[in-house]
Amino acid sequence: MSNLRIFAVNHKKISSLHINNMCSSKIRASLKRLRLRALLGRNYSSLPGLIGNDIKSLHSIINPPIAKIRNIGIMAHIDAGKTTTTERILYYSGYTRSLGDVDDGDTVTDFMAQERERGITIQSAAVTFDWKGYRINLIDTPGHVDFTLEVERCLRVLDGAVAVFDASAGVEAQTLTVWRQADKHKIPRICFLNKMDKIGASFNYAVESIREKLKAKPLLLQLPIGEGKTFKGVVDVVSKEKLLWNPNSDDGKDFERKPLLEMSDPELLKEITEARNALIEQVADLDDEFADLVLGEFSENFDLLPAEKLQTAVHRVTLAQTAVPVLCGSALKNKGVQPLLDAITMYLPSPEERNYEFLQWYKGDLCALAFKVLHDKQRGPLVFLRIYSGVIKRQLAIHNINGNCTERISRLLLPFADQHVEIPSLTAGNIALTVGLKNTATGDTIVSSKSSALAACRRAEREGEKKHRQNNEAERLLLAGVEIPEPVFFCTIEPPSVAKQPDLDHALKCLQREDPSLKVKLDPDSGQTILCGMGELHIEIIHDRIKREYGLETYLGPLQVAYRETILNSVRATDTLDRTLGDRRHLVTVELEAKSLETSSLLPVIEYAASVAEDLSQASREAIENGLHSACLQGPLLGSPIQDVAITLHSLVIHPGTSTAMISACVSRCLQKALKKADKQILEPLMNLEVTVTRDYLSPVLADLAQRRGNIQEIQTRQDNKVVIGFVPLAEIMGYSTVLRTLTSGSATFALELSDYQAMNPQDQSTLLSQRSGLS
């Protein structure tokens, strides 16, 4: 009993001593931290907005100043290390407690089951975190060509991008594609040469490939210390400091930054001084303000130029997109990621530094772009919005200009990959996740109300009149959406039973809204549902998602290539439609001519003879064009769409009282008659192919491509490998990944991208037609 009393007294002493020693402000801060965590309902290792042990107000955490926001994307070729780099960024910023690995399937941004199984990114994922007082909204994008649309729609709403390169390969096929997409949206970017620890990594080779293939001017802000197995750190060219990572550190947090000294590193200091002088001269050539500064105060000695002045000039040059800063490191070995984060905040623009012309018309009213839709089983459609101006709040009614409808946002969330934090409001420059928007789709423009849209339209009109520009009213208001590529593969999809057909239709409708590059159509002859996608992997993933997410065991038919058809000569046809429905007589007589076009055009080019154009009403004109377009959807050979055709309407006689539907039907039937008489040609999709293979296996790969009707353009040397670049028909490349693995013992990789449609030769065309008709 006495022992218990002594323990109780000692415990009281310790408790009172502990409370006396804790200052009251710390208690308040602890309580505030607990309250904040309870409010947000998630236990983070550090909340967004918390740096060290500082606690900020909830408002500053959710809505930081716009100058402190960075909306960036990570883009690259397959396997350059995008997701691993993102994972390290999240770890060092304090968002995650442990380092995820793509191979282990435990990364934050690859949260879909299919992504974790395959070790690839399929859907872009948004993550929000803070770094040294800056709010960074980061989007990890896919590298596979089948998911190019994911990259496109994310780049549309970003202010800057980090292009990740494999230092042993430099610029690869998909790197060129994403770089062109970034050029199209005028996005400033920085380059990160990853995998510097890989055998065969070469900093100089990678930089030279950026200069030659991307036609960009690289600004070397860092140089590596060693390459391959000897890589241990980087040298900061701007500040003349070396950054060395502790080899015994498991997570890469432990590194030291030392200034270069004449005593300890004379050779390295000389090399870095030369590199810094070259960098200063390069930036001075591109930026007049910096050139004046250098020539004025520091012309005698570049060493006296402060690092801050050089950093500001590099920031301006990056924004102007006249050059790209280059950094290096190894994300997998946890080296060089923290300086990359510093470079993102230092050189990439904030939302207010990007010049968006349409913002002046909204005058601070809400203007946002829906760039991605996800379906959640509990919450329904989740719509990602980039807010360009104004404020979004929960329970806010918004107007969708594209859909011309008003909806209400029920909840507002901050996206952390597949986990979300609910918030009351969000200001311009941020990326939000909204619940409750049932009709909003990818590419829709969101404003606060219809009256706000009309007011913005009037301001745009006045501005247009001043500058003598005539734009369509709606075009001025609508933010540019996303260009959706045409699918190249299709196959039939069947539910397990007729009773499950409505469930399959619902699943496909949800998946189409999420992924606009997926097209679903109904075969008019067989009544089967046809799935159209961007590639084998794309359709395979959709099939898998229907099974896992919607619980449907569907059956896929064999994959078919999306051919197109055209005609080779000029043909005329006449048709008369004479029907009596009730007491009304519908009579139409049409004469038209179809001929081939020199230039490529997916839609038919429609012309009218002078005698026809004079008396044609707008309703009749629309009916004619609808009929011609519908006739071009199914060609006479394979039922594929017709392209590269010009149609001239020579004569049109319409009986009074004839309906527009009858005009459409007659014109459509007449064109089909003309197409059947013409000399017809099948066009097949041609793919750009790039195969990276070791010298030992080059011969069997070339022999196999020759059998596949491949056309080799060139064979490049990349370090110890050979890169075969050429064209190959899509029909011949199905299942190629398995064959290539077998031929090269798993050592080769390849990348595909749609190039164009080309005419098939007569022999291949007749073989294809025999197969389709079941004769071979």
Known binding site for GTP: residues?
76-83, 140-144, 194-197
Strands (E), 448-553: 489-494, 519-522, 529-533
Compute CA distances 724 → 77, 91, 275, 691, 750, whole Å.
17, 38, 35, 5, 9
Candidates 116, 136, 117; CA nearest to 127 is 136
CA distance 407 to 486: 30
Give the three-class secondary structure for 17.
Answer: helix
Strand partners, 596: 645
Answer for the pair 666, 588: CB distance below 8 angstroms, yes or no: yes
Compute CA distances 265 → 222, 235, 261, 271, 275, whole Å.
16, 12, 6, 10, 15
CA distance 513 to 526: 25
Give the three-class secondary structure for 674.
Answer: helix
Where is the binding site, in residues? 76-83, 140-144, 194-197
Give the three-class secondary structure for 152.
Answer: helix
Candidates 695, 693, 719, 690; CA nearest to 209 is 719
Q: What are phi and psi of 523, to 5 degrees?
A: -75, 120
Give the three-class secondary structure for 142.
Answer: coil
Annotate 407-443 with DSSP letters as a single string. Answer: EE--EEEEEETTEEEE-SEEETT-EEEEE--SS--TT
- What kind and span of H or E run contains 609? none
- What kind and span of H or E run contains 444? none
As a whole number of Å, the CA-based R_g of the chain is: 31
Which residues, in sequence order, are CB contacts of 171 under 8 Å at separation 6+? 165, 179, 206, 209, 210, 213, 214
User: Which residue, chain included where needed, has tokens 């619940």?
Assistant: 435
Strands (E), 25-85: 69-76
- What kind and span of H or E run contains 495? none
Answer for the pair 767, 776: CB distance below 8 angstroms, yes or no: yes
What tokens does 653 get? 């006689």
Q: Compute the C-alpha angle 617/622/624, nearest 5°.
A: 95
Residue type, position 658, single letter: T
The distance from CA 552 to its chain's CA centroid, rounded to whole angstroms, is: 29
What tokens does 650 get? 């020579």
Answer for the pair 324, 219: CB distance below 8 angstroms, yes or no: yes
CA distance 445 to 368: 6
Query: Is 472 exposed, middle or buried, given 0-12, 13-18 or 19+ CB atoms closer than 10 A?
Result: exposed
Q: Compute the C-alpha angle 456/461/462, nearest 5°.
A: 100
What tokens does 133 get? 């007082």
Candidates 139, 102, 147, 85; CA nearest to 122 is 147
Helix axes 501-514, 536-550, angle to 10 degrees: 120
Running DSSP on this structure, what letter comes out for residue 14?
H
- What kind and span of H or E run contains 405? strand 405-408
CA distance 647 to 695: 52
CA distance 323 to 215: 10
